[in-house]
Amino acid sequence: MVQQWGRTLAGEPGGSVLVDVGTSTVSGVRGPGAPELAAKIGYVGHPVLQTLALDAADTAALGSHFARTGLLYEQPRVSDDDTFTDPFGVEWLWSQGAPAPLNHPLEDADPPAVARHPRPEWPRLVQPAPRTGGAARPLVVADAPCSGLIETCFQLRNSWQFMMDITDNWRVANALLDWALESVATGYERMLAALPSPPDVVLYGDDYGYQGGMFLSDEDFRTFVRPRLRTLFSRIRRQTAAAVCFHCCGAVASILPDLADLGVELVNLQYDAKGMELDRVRAQLPASMVLHGYTDLLALGHALAKDDRRSIAVLTDELVRSAPVVAAPVDSLATEEELFAVARAAHFVRALTDDDIERLRRLGPVREVLDRAAAAAAHEVPRLAGGTPSPEPAHQSSTERR
């Protein structure tokens, strides 16, 4: 597994495909959609999305080559009207399987008020990496400790107000971005310093667009956001040699070269947004950059359940053509049923041998190969134990001692 990871990061297209399920805010399941599992686990990896902090035994049962490490949050206290407040002071409403910001603490703030806004208190518990060694050990994902720069500004200010600030009130926009940069960077520094062993991947997530376009113009992204991303990743790199996976939703084709220029090793993009077709995405990224979660594993899981051979063929063809690649969900999953559908797809992908992948790459969909992998994925996904993620006290970091 570790050898295949090295080949994947080196951009070598050959070999089997690694699978990441249940380890992060991108590949995990949201607790409110899996209430029994949430009650057993007791911790979430993200204070707003409430993605469950699954342990290594459960992620392995789901078919993942990866396991989670990172901060552990207690599940938020949700009121009778389904609202809760996050560590940044934003009030949220949980509705239709997802959180929506309800009250923004800095919506009317001027720059001095932004600077005075209280910093979040970071959790004192971390989920350690599995204590297994050797080539068969799971690869380890350090989950994002919080939202990214733009999402943090949207949550604190109100998305429409912040976008107006970028155009009409750049002093407030800069104050918000500076506050977000320091808070987010500190979150990563404290998490990475607190982990008892180093991860293989660090996840960073931020959304720069919707399905049809960008939130900001390309020029505004390059003026306000890109320089701060460079600073953020520089601070992360000082803490770890792990690869960085950049998750970004939206139609961001026009800034793909900018994202690649940040030096990240993996990108997790919204495959169905405008202009984000595989050939166009691949043409704008370095050949060695790993696509994480580009092919929709949830759709593949549903296709396997229905024995929809056309969809299985199309999705598998896209997966092997997108190499180097890590198979993963496109985004966090709303329910336990979706998690098990993705697990079915994960077992299908894991059943594809090195030779199978090579045949599919050279010849396109091969029925014999697909049928054999589908048969391997047909078994019932085991019920998850819902083990507690063995929380450990966070080691005191130099940032925290200061």
Could you read off the pLDDT of 122-136 as tens digits, one per residue? 999 999 988 776 667
pLDDT at 63 over 70: yes
Break the chain into its structural domains and give their ranges. Answer: 2-401
Dump pLDDT digits (tens) for 144-176.
999 999 999 999 999 999 999 999 999 999 999
Q: Which pLDDT belongs to residue 133?
A: 63
| pTM (two decimals) | 0.94
Q: What is the pLDDT of residues 344-353, one digit of tens each?
A: 999 999 999 9
Range name among 67-76, 163-172, 273-282, 386-395 with the lowest pLDDT average: 386-395
Read off the pLDDT of residues 251-261 as tens digits, 9 standing for 90 and up: 999 999 999 99
pLDDT (0 to 100) of residue 392: 80
Asked if pLDDT for residue 400 goes beyond 70, the answer is no
Instruction: Label each residue of the chain as H, E or C.
Output: CHHHHHHHHCCCCCCCCEECCCCCCCCCEEHHHCHHHHHHHCEECCCCCCEECCCHHHHHHCCCCEEEEEECEECCCCCCCCEEECCCCCEEEEECCEEEEEECCCCCCCHHHHHHCCCCCCCCEEECCCCCCCCCCCEEEECCCCCCHHHHHHHHHCHHHHHHHHHHCHHHHHHHHHHHHHHHHHHHHHHHHHCCCCCCEEEEECCCEECCEECCCHHHHHHHHHHHHHHHHHHHHHHCCCEEEEEECCCCHHHHHHHHHCCCCEEEECCCCCCCCHHHHHHHCCCCCEEECCCCHHHHHHHHHHCCHHHHHHHHHHHHHCCCEEECCCCCECCHHHHHHHHHHHHHHHCCCHHHHHHHHHHCCCHHHHHHHHHHCCCCCCCCCCCCCCCEECCCCHHHHC
pLDDT value, residue 399? 42
| 2-401: CATH topology | TIM Barrel (3.20.20)
**Across all residues in the chain, what is the average pLDDT?**
93
